[in-house]
Amino acid sequence: MKHCITALTAILAGLAAASAQLPPCQDPAAPIEQRVEDALQRMTTAEKVAILHAQSKFCSPGVKRLGIPELWTTDGPHGVRPEVLWDEWRQAGWTNDSCVAFPALTCLAATWNPDMAALYGQSIGEEALYRGKDVLLGPGVNIYRTPLNGRNFEYMGEDPLLASRMVVPYIKGVQANGVATCVKHFALNNHERNRHTTNVSVDDRALYEIYLPAFKAAVNEGGTWSIMAAYNLHGDQHLCHNKRFLVDILKNEWGFDGAVLSDWGGTHNTDEAITNGLDLEFGSWTNGLSNGASNAYANYYLADPYLNRLADGRADTATLNEKARRVLRLIFRTAARPGKGPGNMCSEAHYAAARRIAGEGIVLLRNRGGVLPLDLSRQPRILVVGENALRMMTVGGGSSSLKVQREVSPLDGLRAATAGRATVTYARGYAGDAGGEFDGVTTGQDLTETRTPAELIDEAVGMARQADYVIFVGGLNKSAGQDCEDADRASLGLPYGQDAVIEALAAVNPNLIVVNISGNAVAMPWNDRVGAILQAWYIGSEAGNAIADVLTGRVNPSGKLPMTFPAALADVPCHADGRDYLGTRRADADIWDVSYDEGVLVGYRWFDTKKIKPLYAFGHGLSYTTFEYGKLTADRDHITAADSITLTVPVTNTGSLAGAETVQLYISDVKASVLRPAKELKAFEKVYLEPGQTKNVSFTLGRDALAYFDADRHEWVAEPGRFKAHAAASSADIRSTCPFTLD
């Protein structure tokens, strides 16, 4: 024993001595800032420039000579992207890079449950770690401004508070693994068409109240280690080298100490990239994702052109050091972090997490006469109709496309969940796109259909007459022009003639349940004629199981919409009065000027203020049980600027099933010197209640919850006067109101 201890002591002493001999930049025990500064002073100018740009599609070099590792990034944000070749978008053909696809971020936002965001972040972070990735390119928090935006499914809805509350735990969960998040796309990237040439102007009040808060929360509360700058322009300057956004706001105002990554192919100008806050350049010469020039890395804006400017004195060393410092910090926080675990991939725990998050995010929009949950006690005949019941949804949509280990289709999920208790048949109903491919990953599904739309409808209707339930699974998919990057939707309506199929089914069967798969609001002209509607998002690997959980009542739905479903596109502010959300193209340049004229009236803020009835309101979502709200009361009726106010409302589960309700607290400023939205979400909490159980839900608000952003003074202002707090089940369903006064 004594010998062992002596030997161990010698080994430890040896290790300590070895560690003492290591330069601080290589010493895992040294504090990160010390490692950064030590590395900086050992690096040559060329080495510093080298770490500021990519060396392949997804990785940047470290400093081999100093033992500083490469930095590997990956998409993001719903699963870990499969490996592509070093310098091409084509698949590397690995057989061990199939992942778990987690629900799309819209679905996560619809849980209204920060614990689900933490679980999501932790799980996807573990997958990224296992795959040797240092930076996960996500999550996205661009505000949902139009339902036509092809990328809304990658974001967290229309409300800055909801997106802020959800993004923070996601970041912490990922980064707990030593993997950085790269929160994107900073900022004002609210639609996809013309994304490289859209120049957005927006007033500062809307910027600070609507478009920036989730990014600010990501930086100041989540502590994200990196940020991805967006493709579009503001003030005629691309966001990837935009002084106002990257230097003034992100780094100076918010004190961001991480690295700013360009979006892939979003850099256009060396001088601006040097001075305006870009730290790490990716994807140049690729026009985003397509037109790749081989091995162009030395020509990147922050590569040889930067070196030349440093050599002839046009660029200064202090700025170079600052960029290198940020990139080194990112490397030491991630790739060179000591004690990183192995992570894990495709574990049962990850599938369980995906299913749980989905179960909490699926939204029951309508349930006429309690048609759901399915009554399986009498061996019902269930007819499933629609292409989305079969279609794999994890392939397509752009950079978030995945290669999954498994994906359960809605049809298979339902069959498994009802086996022995129901007969399930299927009719196609409509035909969408036959394909299913992204960058060489294919679904392997052949969805070719030769029958005419009328024949498909006839078949479905004939079968529907014989069924106890008809479940139509349709919506959008990830093909171009649907929910897909680099393009927007053509209209709010469902594609492929689905409305006609739904109308025909509704005419013959009252127990018609529509399961809408989409990352966006869609028009529902048949709303009043169908029994139930589930908003089921893109759910990923566990799609079919999670949908079946809700249909059969294994899971009591508790999701709430993170965006407004408008009755018509023209009801949405950026489409109102014939406005074109794409703006106007300049006569002399390929630039699209878009002005966010609706200001702060985005989403429900517009619908409420203008008294426009939506199809389904922000925050709406039903349960199989019922909740009753008591009276909202406050601990005081007058507050001063320094105080806080605590508002409490009792909520009771008045039904016979356990369930969860998200209690939403909105504030109205009764009289203000500026236009204020009719009400704004300032807090929420999801509570789980057994039948008959009551819980008091309390919210404590400070002055910041009452304030608006005064652009002239560049500060938040809470005007004295009367306010109202509303406890609500959705933005259109206020259950109790409590007035108070700010002195």
Q: Catalytic residue positions? A: 263
Closest by alpha carbon to 460, among 529, 494, 506, 526? 506
CB of 57 vs ligand BGC, minimal distance in Å: 8
Pairing state between β 237-238 and 233-234: antiparallel
Pick between residue 211 and residue 264 the one whose CB is nearest to ligand BGC.
264
Ranges within 180-199 binding ligand BGC (CB under 6 A): 184
Bridge partners of 184, per DSSP, are 140
Ranges within 127-166 binding ligand BGC (CB under 6 A): 137
Ranges within 217-246 binding ligand BGC (CB under 6 A): none
Buried b (16+ CB within 10 A) or exposed e, 600-623: bbbbbbbbbbeebebbbbbbbbbb
Pick between residue 184 and residue 251 the one whose CB is nearest to ligand BGC.
184
CB of 76 vs ligand BGC, minimal distance in Å: 6
Q: Where are the beta strands (DSSP E) in 28-121?
A: 59-60, 71-75
Pick between residue 134 and residue 685 the one whose CB is nearest to ligand BGC.
134
Ranges within 680-699 binding ligand BGC (CB under 6 A): none
CB of 139 vs ligand BGC, minimal distance in Å: 10
Pick between residue 263 and residue 680 the one whose CB is nearest to ligand BGC.
263
The Cα–Cα gap between 219 and 268 comes to 25
User: How many CB atoms neighbour CB 304 within 10 A?
Assistant: 16
Residues 6+ apart with CB under 8 A from 14: none
Closest by alpha carbon to 58, among 280, 240, 334, 259? 280
Buried b (16+ CB within 10 A) or exposed e, 199-225: bbbbeebbbbbbbbbbbbbbbeebebb
Pick between residue 137 and residue 645 the one whose CB is nearest to ligand BGC.
137
Q: Where are the beta strands (DSSP E) in 231-311?
A: 233-234, 237-238, 259-261
Measured in whole angstroms, the distance separating CA 581 from the mean position of its chain's CA atoms is 22
Q: Does 399 bind ligand BGC (CB under 6 A)?
A: yes
Residues that contact ligand BGC, how many (by CB under 6 A): 9
Pick between residue 399 and residue 509 the one whose CB is nearest to ligand BGC.
399
Pick between residue 288 and residue 510 the one whose CB is nearest to ligand BGC.
288
Residue 551, judged by CB atoms within 10 A of its CB (0-12, 13-18, 19+), counts as buried
Helix axes 410-418, 543-552, angle to 10 degrees: 50
CB of 75 vs ligand BGC, minimal distance in Å: 5
Pick between residue 75 and residue 158 the one whose CB is nearest to ligand BGC.
75
* Side-chain half-sphere CA neighbours of 441 within 13 A: 28
Binding track, positions 354-393, relative to ligand BGC; x by CB under 6 A: ----------------------------------------
Among 25, 50, 53, 75, binds ligand BGC (CB under 6 A): 75
CB of 107 vs ligand BGC, minimal distance in Å: 18
Ranges within 270-289 binding ligand BGC (CB under 6 A): 288-289
CB of 398 vs ligand BGC, minimal distance in Å: 7
Residue 541: left if φ>0, alpha if ψ -120 to 50, beta else—which one?
alpha
Among 263, 279, 483, 680, binds ligand BGC (CB under 6 A): 263
CB of 581 vs ligand BGC, minimal distance in Å: 19
Residue 678, judged by CB atoms within 10 A of its CB (0-12, 13-18, 19+), counts as middle
DSSP string spanning 722-741? EEEEEEEEETTEEEEEEEEE
Encoded tokens for 76: 């993001």
Closest by alpha carbon to 508, among 383, 380, 424, 373? 383
Residues 6+ apart with CB under 8 A from 109: 155, 156, 157, 162, 163, 166, 361, 562
CB of 184 vs ligand BGC, minimal distance in Å: 5
Residues lying near ligand BGC in the complex (CB under 6 A) are found at 75-76, 137, 184, 263-264, 288-289, 399
